[in-house]
Amino acid sequence: MNEKADARTRRLDLAARAAWLYYIKRRTQDEIAAELGVSRPNAQRLVALAISEGLIKFRLDHPLLKSMELGERLCERFGLDTCEVAPSVDGQSDRAGVALLAAQFIETLLGAATPRILALGTGRTLLETVREVTSMDRPDHKVVSAVGNLTRDGRASPYDVAIRLADRIGAQCYPLPLPVLTDTQEECGFLRAQRGYGIVDGLVQAADAEVLGVGSIGPTAPLLIDGFVTPDELAGLEAAGAVGELRSHPIDAAGALIDNAVTRRLTAIPPVWRPRRPTILVAAGRSKLDALAAALAGRFATGLVIDEPTATRLLDHQRAGAP
């Protein structure tokens, strides 16, 4: 037994030397074989042995390391399939980094020759994302909007992204040319009963993937700033517990959809709980923190694209015991 133990120790010592030469000294396997007096195949086996025995500890030294670790932690915390974290870059806004990563996801999906359907939300970060998508010619693809793009007085939203993306990639476009919020529930029901609404609704449900913005609720809420709701209507949403919105539909801190007199007048197609298709939330900035936490708590997404500072705050937000 002692002889076997001694032989094993000597072989591990040799494996350690081989690994040192290969990973630290950057020697080739031929050079390692010559220096240790073994054959080249034996040198390969020694390096493999060092790895299998745990003699090698790898450390990634790259600026993206922190972002990758944050993404992995967010996936574990919220049960996501994927999470891309845009690293902080001097001179670049957090939104710009998120837009670049989100554009890569869209390009990968739409780069396929097989016809695809992409459903979109709306918002400033999504608009910047679309601007980063590489132009292509995909006439068989369909881009569909799940959110209305008009105020009640007929003014178009500057942040409707479906038409812009469809133009950029040469795809078919199916917008939802309706006011985000109607004056009455009867008007909302009438618009939803129209044939065109049913076509858009069907395409949203059949989409291969979806990319959604996340809106905050409060004095700087996009719904308020862009003229879709009045201050009194926003106050009613806050009183009902709203902290954020997806597809213009407000949600509370637990991720439950708000049901009140205001939300019953929304024309947007409601978000899907626990979606089976890739559904990516795209958000940047401290103002989205509560809304993001609520959307993830509600299990409305399978993936997330986020900036590094907000990713860190989101994990801290959860550790502090916030809903």
pLDDT digits (tens, 9 = 90+) for 209-236: 999 999 999 999 999 999 999 999 999 9
Q: Which residue, chain included where needed, has tokens 């795209």? A: 282
* Local confidence band at 208 (pLDDT 50, 70, 90 cut-offs): very high
Residues 47 and 142 in one domain: no
* 160 in the same domain as 43: no
The answer to whether residues 200 and 246 belong to one domain is yes
Instruction: Check pLDDT > 90 for residue 58.
Output: no
Higher-confidence residue of 75 and 11: namely 75
Residue 317 is predicted with a pLDDT of 80
What is the per-residue pLDDT across 12-52, written as a single tens digit (0 to 9) for each? Answer: 888 888 888 898 888 899 999 998 889 999 999 999 998 89
User: Is residue 114 domain-resident?
Assistant: yes
Amino acid at 307: D
Give CA–CA dist 184/190, Å, rounded: 10
What is the structure's pLDDT at 323?
45
Within this chain, do residues 178 and 44 fall inside the same structural domain, yes or no? no
Q: What is the mean pLDDT of the chain?
A: 92
pLDDT at 92 over 60: yes
Beta bridge partners of 282: 213, 305
From CA 133, how far away is CA 240, in angstroms rounded? 38
Residues 17 and 132 in one domain: no
Helix (H, G, I), strand (E, B) or coil at 174: strand
Clarify whether residues 251 and 104 are in a common domain.
yes
Residues 162 and 43 occupy one common structural domain = no
Q: What is the pTM of this model?
A: 0.81
Measured distance CA(226)–CA(204) in Å, rounded:
24
* Rounded (10°) angle between helices 29-36 and 40-52: 100
